[in-house]
Every structure is written in structure tokens, then in C-alpha cells.
Amino acid sequence: MSSERMPSEPNIVYIGNKPIMSYVLAVITSFSAVDTKYVTLKARGRAITTAVDVAEITKRRFMKQLDVSGITIGTEEIPQEGGGTRAVSTIEIILRKTDGSS
């Protein structure tokens, strides 16, 4: 994937190998759209720790009105070159913008 945000899925940030602050900026940018109430972080394998860091840094430092409204974990079967498959862990973290009154 060449872009972090796919045009058909504007509220999804795919986590990879970039610096954490790149993804934090992507989340903040996603929430700056007029009607955006949710942004989903998606990661697999070693990028899972980065996804958790992105959610926490965004929540604690930049957007105090965010809540984690859901976390989904799973496993994907990735085909290997020599045949067979390999199991890779996945995570989706759903961030929700609250009204700030609670």
C-alpha cells in the first residue's frame, strides 16, 4: 500500500513502519473533517505496538476529547513464498470523538 489512508475508507489509518508522529498527524487530520466522529487504526504484526502508542499519544497529548470505543483483535493467514501460510496477529482500534461534557 502506497498511501496510509485509502480514499474509499477515509476514516481508517493503516499503521506501518513510519514514525509514530506521522500516524498521530494522520489521526488528527482525519478528525479535522467536518462530520468525522470515528477513526479506526489498523495494524498487524509488529506494528500493533505502534498502533497502541498512536492511540495513546493522540488521546493524551493532542485530543483530550477522544475515547477508545472499541478494540478488535484477530489473526490473518498470510501466504508464504515456499507454500503454506503464516498466522499474523491483527488489531483495530476505534477512536471516538466525544463532546467533552463528560
* pTM for the predicted model, two decimal places: 0.82
21-50 pLDDT tens trace: 999 999 999 998 878 899 999 999 999 999
Residues pairing with 14 in the sheet = 42
69-87 pLDDT tens trace: 999 999 999 899 888 999 9
* Domains in the chain, CATH or no CATH each: 12-97 (3.30.110.20)
C-alpha cell read off for 80 = 508464504
